[in-house]
Amino acid sequence: MPKVLDGAGIAAAIKAEVAEEVRELDSQGIRPGLAAVLVGHVPASAIYVRSKVHACEELGIYSELTTPQETVTTEEMLDVVAALNDRDDIDGILIQLPLPNQVDAKLLLDAVSPAKDVDGFHPVNAGKLQAGRPSLVPCTPAGVIEILRRSGIQMEGQRAVVVGRSDIVGKPAAMLLLNENATVTICHSKTRDLEAITREADILVAAIGRPGFITPGMVKPGGTIIDVGINRITDRAEFERFFAGNAKREAAFAKRGSVVIGDVHPAAFEVAGAYTPVPGGVGLLTIAMLMANTVRAAKMRRGGG
């Protein structure tokens, strides 16, 4: 039986460590602060931001939520970011994506001070990561490394394949694995003979954003699968393709009319030696690493990072 990597337990351990760091900073009269900016009324984004704010409260981090109207302009958003950049009580700035079409998201993310860029999206932080001098690293890829490290899965000398080349997950995950001395290949939708490459992976990171994309024939027997994808299935035929005969998932689909699946076909996990489930895997690490980044930013801004 493959080993299921415990995202919940690892996330809880990281949060406990962050809470201890917050207590130490508090004894020095410092309270880390995170500002979240949520534009408009996107239900999924609102739920996600609330979970981040709740995590701050749980760990003793100061948080505040700014909610500009759906009609906000790029110029108005730049003013919001500039004001947060200037505040000494705010160590981290989080701009929840997606943004409305009229807002230039790239320009806005680039306007966040690199020292407060707790999402790790700023070109300065991306450049430091590529140079092997990471400071604030994107939260999901950082979570991938923590799962591997804390699960005792060797990265050094291993063949790692990342399927997906996004600036948010795929590229930084590859850079972090490279920094751990893995031999890394990045694949994408245009990669020729993709299956032949993924079958060589001791560590296979699936981050392509397509439900069940990684099939059993793409997995090296005994390898480790890190499934970063979160996709919602609402179509009955698609549900049957992935979960036929799964009573637990059937009950969830009947109750909610949808289920969540990663980028890996459930049958592919049976080939692996270890894997992260969806839900219950990498997604839980994202918020934990955001909290860790906020505390790190607080320390770095005060010369203690």
Q: Catalytic site residue 220?
A: no
Q: Catalytic site residue 96?
A: yes
CA–CA distance, 128 with 135 (Å, rounded to integer): 7
Q: Catalytic site residue 130?
A: no
- Torsion of Cα atoms, 25 then 57 then 137 then 286, to 10°: 150
CA–CA distance, 272 with 268 (Å, rounded to integer): 7
Selected catalytic residue, list 15, 52, 171, 220 = 52
Selected catalytic residue, list 6, 91, 117, 119 = 119
Map residue 11 onto helix, strand or coil.
helix
Selected catalytic residue, list 6, 15, 96, 117 = 96
Between CA 261 and CA 266, with CA 265 as vertex, the angle to 5 degrees is 80
Q: How far is CA 159 from CA 81, 86, 178, 185, 229, in A?
A: 41, 44, 10, 8, 21
Structure tokens at 270: 């049976």
Q: Which residues are catalytic?
A: 52, 96, 119
